[in-house]
């Protein structure tokens, strides 16, 4: 008699759009676009003031901006671990979190592409797909909600006279819009999961409905790590823009930076390589509308976007290579171990 080995299920392949070859192609596209923008900034007439500013950036403020972006990434890692698996090792949390940020820096969609990479890694580690879907929705909502809550609060305060006086279109309207979005999201669980239906759409509906409910539960638990991670990810990133403004001798009110930040970030929803052009143009336009000087705003945003692109890409690229090399190693700790008893 001859015993044939029984093969287990094959590892789930990486999504095509997240394959290393596809990501390398994305990086090359982004680099080409950056080169074109750099040539325009260097050679186009009428941009002399911007060129002069870029060469006169204060190194100390730029280094501070890099450190602040690093802290934003660390906050993302803390939040990721706490939302997806509190028993996960910090090494694994670091590698997955920064890998997601690296993908997010070259693939638009407001971070959803990075979460897709994390979902694939967790699935390879044995986490049930339904839990991954729910937690991904919850993570995305908690991370994004900080911006909307901030706009609702800051817009209201500015309308009441805190900070520089601005038109109601720049204070009341964004605050009402952000509040409306929050209320709509909170009402999503009332749709029900639709248990009796099947198919992709039904599965997506269940994931969204349950994910929203789970996000509300996580927030209600008042988990300090989740709160600090979500606020830190947003606050440190805003602080990067604040620091780059100071690098070019400008100091707009913090309320202006915070309000312009969210409105400008909406440009990241455009399907552009790395969000280049969408986020940049959105931020520059929004901040100028709020009264910041044009040349300093362009220089500050371009520096901010350079840091936002390169820092996660370098750190996250190293983290992803380390993770991929040891992902199937029998000596590697589980991706998600049971949380230790409190």
**In b/e form, how buried is each residue of 265-297, taking b as 16+ CB within 10 angstroms?**
bebbeeebbbbbbbbbebbbbbbebbebbebbb
Identify the residue whose tokens are 């409910």. 213
Q: In terms of residue numbers, what domain contains 302?
A: 58-326
Is 52 part of a structural domain of the chain? no
In this prediction, residue 341 carries a pLDDT of: 42
Is 42 part of a structural domain of the chain? no
In this prediction, residue 95 carries a pLDDT of: 92
In this prediction, residue 6 carries a pLDDT of: 40
Is 207 part of a structural domain of the chain? yes
Alpha carbon distance 311, 265 (integer Å): 18
Pair 305, 313: CB distance under 8 Å:
no
Is 151 part of a structural domain of the chain? yes
Is 333 part of a structural domain of the chain? no
Is 14 part of a structural domain of the chain? no
Is 337 part of a structural domain of the chain? no
Is 311 part of a structural domain of the chain? yes
pTM above 0.75, yes or no: yes
Per-residue pLDDT tens digits of the chain, which is 342 residues long: 444 444 444 456 666 656 667 667 767 766 776 676 666 666 665 566 777 788 888 999 999 999 999 999 999 999 999 999 888 888 899 999 999 998 888 775 555 667 778 888 888 777 888 888 888 888 988 988 898 899 899 989 888 888 777 888 888 888 898 899 889 888 887 777 666 555 666 667 777 888 888 888 888 888 889 999 999 999 999 999 999 999 999 989 988 898 888 877 765 555 555 555 567 778 888 899 888 998 899 899 989 988 988 899 899 989 988 888 877 777 776 677 655 443
Count of structural domains, the chain = 1
């Amino acid at each position: 008699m001859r015993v044939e080995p029984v093969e287990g299920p094959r590892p789930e392949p990486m999504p095509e759009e997240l394959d290393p070859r596809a990501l390398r192609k994305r990086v090359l596209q982004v680099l080409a676009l950056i080169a074109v923008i750099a040539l325009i900034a260097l050679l186009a007439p009428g941009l002399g003031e911007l060129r002069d500013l870029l060469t006169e950036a204060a190194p100390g403020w730029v280094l501070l901006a890099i450190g602040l972006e690093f802290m934003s990434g660390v906050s993302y890692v803390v939040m990721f671990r706490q939302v997806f698996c509190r028993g996960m090792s910090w090494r694994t949390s670091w590698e997955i979190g920064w890998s997601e940020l690296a993908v997010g820096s070259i693939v638009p969609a407001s971070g959803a592409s990075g979460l897709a990479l994390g979902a694939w890694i967790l699935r390879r580690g044995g986490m049930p797909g339904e839990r991954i879907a729910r937690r991904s929705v919850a993570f995305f909502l908690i991370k994004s909600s900080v911006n909307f809550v901030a706009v609702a609060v800051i817009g209201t305060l500015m309308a009441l006279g805190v900070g520089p006086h601005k038109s109601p279109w720049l204070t009341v309207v964004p605050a009402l819009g952000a509040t409306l979005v929050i209320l709509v999201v909170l009402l999503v669980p009332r749709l029900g999961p639709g248990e009796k239906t099947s198919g992709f759409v039904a599965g997506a509906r269940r994931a969204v409905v349950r994910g929203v409910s789970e996000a509300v539960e996580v927030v209600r638990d008042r988990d300090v790590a989740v709160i600090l991670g979500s606020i830190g990810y947003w606050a440190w990133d805003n602080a990067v823009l604040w620091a780059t403004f100071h690098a070019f001798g400008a100091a707009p009110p913090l309320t202006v930076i915070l309000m312009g930040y969210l409105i400008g970030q909406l440009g990241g929803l455009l399907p552009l390589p790395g969000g280049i052009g969408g986020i940049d143009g959105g931020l520059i336009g929004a901040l100028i509308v709020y009264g910041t000087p044009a040349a300093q705003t362009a220089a500050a945003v371009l520096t901010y976007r350079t840091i936002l692109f390169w820092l996660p890409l370098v750190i996250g690229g190293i983290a992803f290579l380390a993770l991929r090399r040891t992902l199937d190693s029998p000596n590697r700790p589980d991706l998600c171990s049971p949380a230790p008893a409190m």
